Amino acid sequence: MLNESQVITDRYYDSVFLMRAAKRMSDMDGVAQAAAVMGTPRNIQILADAGFQGVETMGASPNDLVISLQVEDSDAAKAVFDSIEELLQPEVGAYTAESYRTLDQAMDAQRESNLAVISVPGEHAAREAHAALDKGLNVFMFSDNVSIEDELSLKMSARDRGLLVMGPDCGTSIIGGKGIGFSNAVRRGPIGVIGASGTGIQEVTSLVHNSGSGISHALGIGSRDMSDQIGGISALQAIDALEADPETLVIIVISKPPDETTLSKVRDRIGQSSKPVVTCFLGESQTPGEIRENIVETANLDAAVSAALRLAENESPAKSDDLDKVPSIVEAEQNRHTDMQRYARGVFAGGTFCLQSQQVFAEPGLQVYSNSPLKKELSLPDPDQGFQNSMVDMGSDEFTVGRPHPMIDSSLRAERILAEARDPEVAVLLLDFILGYGSSDDPVGDLIPAIREAQDIVKNRGGHLTVVASVCGTGDDPQGLDRQMGMLEEAGVLTLPTNERASRLASQIATKQTE
Least confidently predicted of 96-100, 238-242, 400-404, 465-469: 96-100
Least confidently predicted of 203-217, 243-257, 275-289, 409-423: 275-289
Residues 178 and 74 in one domain: no
Domain-embedded: residue 97 = no
Please tell me the predicted confidence (pLDDT) of residue 471. 98
392: containing domain? 323-513
Domain-embedded: residue 459 = yes
In the predicted model, what is the mean pLDDT of the chain?
91
Domain boundary among 57, 87, 117: 87
Q: What is the CATH number of the domain that holds 54?
A: 3.30.70
pLDDT reading at 180 higher than 70: yes
pLDDT reading at 143 higher than 50: yes
Residues 109 and 83 in one domain: no
- Domain count of the fold of the chain: 3
CB contact at 8 A, 151 and 133: no
Dihedral sign, Cα of residue 6, residue 10, residue 16, residue 17:
negative
The string of pLDDT tens digits covering residues 276-317 is 999 999 986 544 444 456 789 999 999 999 999 999 976 555
CB contact at 8 A, 346 and 373: no
% residues pLDDT > 70 (the chain): 93
Please tell me the predicted confidence (pLDDT) of residue 256. 86
Residues 332 and 442 in one domain: yes
Residues 422 and 503 in one domain: yes
Residues 129 and 237 in one domain: yes
Q: What is the CATH number of the domain that holds 218?
A: 3.40.50.261
Domain-embedded: residue 356 = yes
Domain-embedded: residue 27 = yes
Residues 482 and 342 in one domain: yes
Domain-embedded: residue 266 = yes
**Better-scored residue on pLDDT, 425 or 319:** 425
Least confidently predicted of 131-135, 286-290, 431-435, 480-484: 286-290
pLDDT reading at 325 higher than 60: yes
Domain boundary among 311, 331, 365: 311
Please tell me the predicted confidence (pLDDT) of residue 287. 47
Domain-embedded: residue 93 = no
Residues 71 and 112 in one domain: no
Residues 48 and 196 in one domain: no
Domain-embedded: residue 256 = yes
Residues 367 and 277 in one domain: no
Residues 270 and 346 in one domain: no
Please tell me the predicted confidence (pLDDT) of residue 102. 81
Residues 122 and 195 in one domain: yes
The string of pLDDT tens digits covering residues 345-400 is 999 999 999 999 999 999 999 999 999 998 999 999 999 999 999 999 999 888 88
What string of DSSP letters covers 472-487? E--TTSTT-HHHHHHH
- CA 347: distance to chain centroid? 13
Task: Report the pLDDT averaged over residues 106-128.
Answer: 88
Please tell me the predicted confidence (pLDDT) of residue 20. 83
What string of DSSP letters covers 100-161? -SSHHHHHHH-TT--EEEE-S-HHHHHHHHHHHHHTT-EEEE------HHHHHHHHHHHHHH
Please tell me the predicted confidence (pLDDT) of residue 317. 52
pLDDT reading at 96 higher than 60: no
Strand ranges across the sheet with 290-292: 178-181, 172-175, 215-220, 188-195, 250-255, 277-281, 295-298, 290-292
Residues 423 and 470 in one domain: yes
Domain boundary among 276, 311, 346: 311
